[in-house]
Amino acid sequence: MKITRLKTWQVPPRWLFLKIETDEGCYGWGEPVIEGRAATVEAAVHELADYLVGQDPHRIEHLWNTLYRAGFYRGGPILMSAIAGIDQALWDLKGRDLGVPVHQLLGGAVRERMRMYAWTGGDRPGDVGAGARALVERGFTAFKMNGTAEMQIVDSHRKVDEAVARVAEAREAVGPEVGIAIDFHGRVHRPMAKALLRELEPFHPMFVEEPVAPEHLPALKHIAGGLGYPLATGERLHTRFEFRDLLADGMVDIIQPDLSHCGGISEGFKIATLASAHDVALAPHCPLGPLTLAASLQLDAVSHNAFIQEQSMGIHYNQDNDVLDYLVDKSALAIEEGFCAIPQGPGLGVEIDEAFVEERAKVGHRWRNPVWSHEDGSIAEW
């Protein structure tokens, strides 16, 4: 069997789908995208196609190494997202060809279903109590909320008080049992993070995410010591090599690799295993589409240290699009009692409606991350 063609579609709200085709009719789907740079990743995928067309799609590990190493320059969000989506599509293709779900090829499932969480609210802190209660009424046992709006490197303690008050409101609304994840989106810097993280302790967060930006991860050593709840990060890290440094320093309790950014299922599996050696939990990041979600669930299925899975329902920039829209069988990734069943169909376990993808690609998207400013006009972290 030989790879003959790579086809891509930019589809709303901000996604990119890839289909790899072969001379024997067998195919696989993946999602190679980084938020806000779908067209750049798409260009990278088509450059990388020169290393794939004519090759045996079953040699996933060999092809991964070809794409990663043969280019000499490696890593980073664009290349690793391109490789990630290609890797997902190769796993999907292999599973379809052999008639088994990807988790069977990775050693078999260690669990039947995965605990899920969804966002309440958008980029900016908002009406968190009502949103959280609505999710709990739909069966969710955990949710994620925004930690803070823009915060300068040294800012007023009022910003800390506001963040704490919102978490207090959320905890009050849902009671002690529900997991509350608080995403700071890398908006806080070392000087303010110390007080902020400490003051959230009484509300027992399930985890606090990205308190500082990825380039400031070493600061966590000075901030996180002795905290009484888990810290999470990793959606903006790529490859086992970046996770190695994070894990070796003992700075986090939960890693959040994104299977469309970190290098795919192959690399995610290695990262998850590396984390398990440090007794660090896995909670794959996924504000993306159905293929990234299906790939994540395949990894969750075989990772004993996985404990919860993000999915993009409720993220405000997805607007009128739902993660299930592009599926032929929408029950494949349905959530029941706050869990999603591990997909059992061949490959990633979902069937994409290609005609609908074609339709939506005509609409396309130009999604860009918003640009925020501080009150003095300097650029703020989004």
Ligand X SMILES: O=C(O)[C@@H](O)[C@H](O)[C@H](O)CO
Name the site residues for Mg ion (rule: CB under 5 A). Answer: 183
Contact in structure between 91 and 267 (CB atoms under 8 Å): no
**Cα(96)–Cα(99) distance, rounded to whole angstroms?**
5
Shortest distance in whole angstroms from residue 72 CB to ligand X: 29
Count of residues that bind ligand X according to CB under 6 A:
7
- In the residue annotation, 185 being an active-site residue is answered as yes
Asked if the bond preceding 13 is cis, omega within 30° of 0, the reply is yes
- In the residue annotation, 157 being an active-site residue is answered as no
Rg value, the chain, Cα: 20
Question: Considering beta carbons, is residue 92 or 242 the nearer one to Mg ion?
Answer: 242
Q: Give the chain's largest Cα–Cα span.
A: 63
Choose the one of Mg ion, ligand X, none that binds residue 189, judging by a C-beta under 5 to 8 angstroms depending on kind: none
Residues 264 to 293 in contact with ligand X, rule: CB under 6 A: 285, 287
Q: Can you read off the two tokens belonging to residue 214? A: 């990825």
Q: Exactly one of 103, 157, 185, 278 is catalytic; which is it?
A: 185
Question: Considering beta carbons, is residue 92 or 210 the nearer one to Mg ion?
Answer: 210
**Cα(124)–Cα(126) distance, rounded to whole angstroms?**
6
Question: Considering beta carbons, is residue 44 or 283 the nearer one to Mg ion?
Answer: 283
| Binding flags for ligand X, 136-175, as an x/- string (CB under 6 A) | ----------------------------------------
Residues 196 to 255 in contact with ligand X, rule: CB under 6 A: 235
CA atoms within 13 A on the CB side of 60: 23
Answer for which of 21, 183, 242, 381 binds ligand X (CB under 6 A) is: 183
- By DSSP bridging, strand 142-146 and strand 113-119 are parallel
List the one residue out of 352, 361, 357 whose CA is nearest residue 330.
Answer: 352
Question: Considering beta carbons, is residue 285 or 360 the nearer one to ligand X?
Answer: 285
Q: Which residues contribute to the site for ligand X (CB under 6 A)?
A: 35, 183, 185, 235, 285, 287, 310
